[in-house]
Amino acid sequence: MTQKKKSPKAAGAAPKSPKKTGKFDKAAAARRVQEILPLLQKAYPNVGIALHFGNPLELLIATILSAQCTDARVNVVTKDLFKKYRSAADWAGAELQQIEQDIKSCGFYHNKAVSIRGAAQKILDEFRGKVPATMEELVTLPGVGRKTANCVLGNAYGRPAIMCDTHVIRLSRRLQLSANSDPVKLEFDLADIVPKPEWTLFCHRLIAHGRAVCKARKPDCPNCPIAKCCPAADNPNLW
């Protein structure tokens, strides 16, 4: 007679992670934000976006180029790129193959070139050549999602915006500010617990902290200015 296989539970399988099964405490997350805001402000008083730009169009282009590419590489490319293409009309009128060649070192150059030229054309056709300044309009542009739109709104137009890049997602998980790692869901979660005037700088400070201290593989908890507020401090199971 064939012996029945034991279920994972009967076989002594490890219990599910508390991170996935535990109930998220939004009130505690909101209190934690209030605790870490002044600490991050003190640690990173002068923060801003790493991408170089001179106007909303340049930031839009740079942000599209930054997908799966370092900001440093994008800045190298756009130094000459923004001298060649100065308006939406310049981008829309360029040959796709030429744009591809000009942005090739940023990776995924075909898709990015299609998005850039398509966005430029729509800006010309529907927005009188100017990058729109609302979320609703920005996300209608080819290649532009909420992350890119928030980047433009927060940094080019000075409006409160939550930018959920890889650092913000990682630190929000470690700090237990949200139960979500999906960028859009996380954006709305953070909007509920971070004071609106602080949205943009809070994200910049999380990004700076993620790059300098709270790194992906091994955070430097002993030298972390917000370790006392962090549930994941010195706890590799929560990294």
Positions marked active-site: 147, 165
Taking the alpha carbons at both ends of the chain, their separation in whole angstroms is 46
Distance CA 131, CA 12 (A): 57
In the block, which residue shows the tokens 């898709």?
A: 111
Q: How many CA atoms lie within 13 A of 64 on its CB side?
A: 25
Specify whether the CB–CB gap between 231 and 175 falls below 8 A.
yes
| Residues ≥6 apart with Cβ < 8 Å to 183 | 146, 147, 164, 169
Of 181, 189, 175, whose CA–CA distance to 232 is shortest?
A: 175
What gap in Å lies between CA 88 and CA 120, rounded to an integer? 5
Torsional sign, CA 157, 160, 162, 167: positive
- Which structure tokens are listed for 175? 């700090």
| Residue 236 parent element (H or E) | none
Tell how far CA 204 is from the center of its chain: 9
Contact assessment for residue 146 and residue 135, using Cβ atoms and an 8 Å cutoff: yes
